[in-house]
A and B are shown apart, each in its own frame.
Chain A
Amino acid sequence: MKILVVDDNNTDRLVMNTYLLRMGYEVVLGGNGLQAVELYKENQPDLVVMDVNMPEMNGYDAAQKIRQISDEWIPIIFLSARIGSEDIVKGIEAGGDDYLVKPIDHQVLEAKMKAMQRIAEMRHKLVEMAFELKQANAELKQLVNIDGLTGLFNRRYLDDFLVREVARSKRYQQSLTVILCDIDYFKVFNDTYGHLEGDDCLRGVSAILKNSCRRPTDLVARYGGEEFAIILSDMDSEAAVIMAETIREAIEAEQIPHKKSLVSQVVTMSLGVCSLIPEHGDTPETFLQKADVALYQAKQAGRNQVKMNA
């Protein structure tokens, strides 16, 4: 345990230093309140033992500064020859945790150090546990929003995201694009190659979609089964169609065999695009329905193509 000892009195400081070193602690020494704050920043001690009455800056002010700059709680013990109820109140209000009466009795000092070390260790454990819990919660939160097979966002997240994006696009009167994509004859693919190959196909297609939508604001989600949804904020219809066509070509270029497909020998994709600046009555459903109509048109027109419904 590293202890910062701050006392303007050389003799008292030396006595305290000797006691603490003999107890096996690492000691950092300072001579006034200003030094206490600086040494605290430099050394990040586990405990501070500090005189109250010091030049430059007294112990109370130094404790307050340390509490202000420190994210973590560490015990602060004040040293004083006078300890009345008023001193104790003042010390606690300044951020202190305990008092030691001067001259220091080494047995009392040893006992208090042990007690403070125990509290500090418990505090460390609590901080670690809180951190782990926070991480676990973050992972859980992400898992709730992620599709387990493809690693893309799931429908639940997509729905929430779309609500926010429609509202935002309405507010700023920006164009918003929703693309619905469907792997052509995927049922046939599964029947031909089996479900494990089908899962691989979904993962491969997902990776291509993800790579195609690289802006931080773009969102790719698994919409359900072999259907995917892409949300592109601040993108007009012309750019959206180009983007959809690029995706379609990339899927085809991947050359995933699909010998029983009626449109190609490889896996292909049909895409329906809806791109518009939302107005008063437009909702997330407006976008999804329009994109779905466009997707239907793409399928009706022979699949492996992009259709637009503005």
Chain B
Amino acid sequence: MRAAMGDIFNEILAAFFNQSRMYMDELKVAYEEKNYPVLERIFHSLGSSSLNMGAEQLSGLARDLEKKTIKDVCLITFDDIDALQVEYFLVEKVLNDLMSDEKSL
């Protein structure tokens, strides 16, 4: 996608980071409040947008959690959310490093 997007890729990356960080903030609150529809939406959205960035592992994780969260039933634990957040910040670091490397070249 980097090649197809050209200059606008940075903008898309920034949008992805902004949105995902917002999700990270909302995740634990939604889980504690048992707001499963919000949780489901975050997992769904993150699963989709992370694929655009090539973050397949993060996407897969989000999709698995989405399947376990349906309306008033939630089969995930706090550890699952932690794992997702760790994976996201890893993706963010890798993408930032890649962009920095590209700039320095």
Residues of A whose CB lies within 8 Å of any CB of B are: 8-12, 14-15, 18-19, 53, 55, 81, 102-104, 106
State the Cβ distance, A158 to closest chain B Cβ, in Å: 70
Residue B105 interfacial (CB < 8 Å):
no
Chain A residue nearest to B18 (CB atoms) is: A10
Chain A residue nearest to B3 (CB atoms) is: A106
Chain B residue nearest to A104 (CB atoms) is: B52
On whether the beta carbons of B44 and A14 are closer than 8 Å, the reply is no
On whether the beta carbons of A53 and B44 are closer than 8 Å, the reply is yes
State the Cβ distance, A238 to closest chain B Cβ, in Å: 78
Our count of residue pairs bridging A and B at CB distance below 8 angstroms stands at 51
**Cα A239 to Cα B53 with chains together (Å):** 86
Within 8 A of A (CB), among B3-18: 4-5, 8, 11-12, 15-16, 18
Given that A53-B44, A81-B63 are known contacts, is A12 also in contact with B4, CB under 8 Å in the complex? no
Q: Which of A11, A81, A103, A104 contacts B19 (CB 8 A)?
A: A11
Given that A10-B15, A11-B52, A12-B52 are known contacts, is A18 also in contact with B8, CB under 8 Å in the complex? yes
Q: A10-B49, A55-B41 are in contact. List 15 more A-B contacts (CB 8 A).
A: A8-B41, A8-B45, A9-B45, A10-B15, A11-B52, A12-B48, A12-B49, A19-B4, A81-B44, A81-B47, A81-B51, A102-B51, A102-B52, A103-B48, A104-B52
On whether the beta carbons of B5 and A103 are closer than 8 Å, the reply is no
On whether the beta carbons of B45 and A15 are closer than 8 Å, the reply is no
**Cα A19 to Cα B8 with chains together (Å):** 10
Q: Which of A8, A10, A15 contacts B5 (CB 8 A)?
A: A15
Sampled A-B contacts (7; CB under 8 Å): A10-B15, A11-B16, A11-B52, A14-B12, A18-B8, A81-B63, A103-B48
